[in-house]
Chain A
Amino acid sequence: MKVALINCSPKFRGSATEIILRDIKALLGFNSLSINLHINTDFITDEMINELYSCDEWVFGYPLYVDGLPSHMLSCLCEIERKRENNKSVTVYGIANCGFYEGNQCDVSLQILENFCLRMGFVFGTGLGIGGGAALPATEGKAFEKMLKNPLEKSFTELCDLIDSGRRRGNQYIEIGTSKKIYISVAQKSWDSMAKKNGLSKKDL
């Protein structure tokens, strides 16, 4: 299998999506050859579309934007549809991460990706919605990174087994390895801290 790992975060580097796709790449089996692509703006070149079509499976990683796909990713999906190659069958997997604690808040965005597949005549393999994904970049390399990622590992391994074999299953929703209470408390402190760096107080937010 040739697999395209498509990072649809608008951030050039250091995004949660980048971290997730890096972990996925490491877990793919020896039979899967993967290439990395980055869709970070609202146009996609013909060259990138050709690269996509050189792959049997497309794995879209993206941040949840207001319950749906980020608009720049949506633009690129429309462009891919306009330049569709008939008779080419692709299996698509979606990995959404969100700043909310509950992974199931990614559900609608995965439905949108599945509807894209139906328009294209593609197979939708499965979707994974990850709650609390926004915490991943801030904890990378720190002592509690493993604890946060612990619940993700099993899901990533199962997802990679599906990708390796091109199989399908229903969507899955998970949360990072901490309680909702702690997640919310840490998130709010981090907003305060970022505001302070910009010369703002809590009241200014």
Chain B
Amino acid sequence: MRVLIHDLDEESFKNWLSDKISNCYIFSQNKKISPCVGCFGCWIKTPGMCVIKDGFEDIGKELSYCDELIIISRCVYGSYSPFVKNIIDRSISYNHPYFTERNNETHHRRRYDNVISISVYFYGEDISENEKSTARNLVEANTINFDGRLNKVLFLNNIMELGLITL
């Protein structure tokens, strides 16, 4: 299964993405999302599931069924947009709280066996070279944390260019 996280409004999604998507679980801004409060309840109270019940509590679980993660996000200072970053922040239950070492750094152990291939499409009209470099670094770091595989990081000048890509 594929998981798509995007921050497009309904009309843009319909225009540029809906006919490219199949076998995909989608996280979109169709309802209000609460930010992660750093309580670690998803590790020590309800392992694998966020304790904030707002319709986004199952992100970590959905990632466990996923072989490909596609992220479509406005590039904000070299980060994902606040909505997409919120989804990523709320996904930490995908990992186990215990530490392990990868690349001589501490990271969290994997909870599940699936290896996720990660593709990220950043869009924005005036993304600077610094922001592109930071965004690549961010996705690479996230890939290590997910113990996944980086497929691609692409930068689009606007959301219309989504029409040119194959997902």
B residues whose Cβ falls under 8 Å from a Cβ of A: 35-38, 40, 43-45, 47, 76-83, 85-86, 88-89, 91-92, 96-99, 105-107, 128, 130-131, 133-134, 137-138, 141-142, 145
Contact string, A180-198, partner B, CB cutoff 8 A, digits 1/0? Answer: 1000100110010011011
Interface pair A111/B98, CB less than 8 Å apart: no
Q: Which residues of B contact A112 (CB under 8 A)?
A: 77-79, 134, 138
The verdict on A93 contacting chain B, using a C-beta distance below 8 Å, is: no
Name, among A10, A68, A114, the residue most crowded by chain B CB atoms within 10 Å (CB to CB).
A68
Q: Which residues of A contact B133 (CB under 8 A)?
A: 111
Interchain CA distance A175-B40 in the complex, whole Å: 22
Chain A's closest residue to B105 (CB) is: A102
Answer whether A68 and B38 are a contact pair too, CB < 8 Å, given A74-B85, A112-B78, A116-B77. no
Interchain CA distance A53-B78 in the complex, whole Å: 24
- What is the CB-to-nearest-CB distance from A76 to chain B, in angstroms, rounded to a whole number? 9
Contact string, A26-67, partner B, CB cutoff 8 A, digits 1/0? Answer: 000000000000000110000000000000000000010111
Interchain CA distance A10-B86 in the complex, whole Å: 13
A residues whose Cβ falls under 8 Å from a Cβ of B: 9-11, 15, 41-42, 63, 65-72, 74-75, 77-78, 100-102, 105, 107-108, 111-116, 118-119, 180, 184, 187-188, 191, 194-195, 197-198, 200, 204-205
Q: Which residues of A contact B128 (CB under 8 A)?
A: 115, 118
Name, among A71, A74, A188, A205, the residue most crowded by chain B CB atoms within 10 Å (CB to CB).
A71
Chain B's closest residue to A107 (CB) is: B137
* Cross-chain contact of A66 among B78, B89, B96, B137 (Cβ < 8 A): B89
Interface pair B97/A191, CB less than 8 Å apart: yes
* Cross-chain contact of A70 among B89, B134, B137, B145 (Cβ < 8 A): B89
Chain A's closest residue to B34 (CB) is: A42
Interchain CA distance A188-B100 in the complex, whole Å: 11
Interface pair B36/A198, CB less than 8 Å apart: no
Interface pair B36/A65, CB less than 8 Å apart: yes
* Cross-chain contact of B36 among A71, A102, A197 (Cβ < 8 A): A71
* Cross-chain contact of A200 among B44, B88, B131 (Cβ < 8 A): B44
Answer whether A71 and B105 are a contact pair too, CB < 8 Å, given A66-B89, A115-B131, A205-B98. no
Q: Which residues of B contact A204 (CB under 8 A)?
A: 47
Q: Which residues of B contact A101 (CB under 8 A)?
A: 105-106
* Cross-chain contact of B82 among A78, A100, A184, A205 (Cβ < 8 A): A78
Answer whether A194 and B86 are a contact pair too, CB < 8 Å, given A67-B145, A77-B77, A119-B77. no
Interchain CA distance A180-B142 in the complex, whole Å: 21
Chain A's closest residue to B126 (CB) is: A119
Chain B's closest residue to A105 (CB) is: B105
Q: Which residues of B contact A78 (CB under 8 A)?
A: 76, 82
Chain A's closest residue to B134 (CB) is: A111
Interface pair B44/A75, CB less than 8 Å apart: no
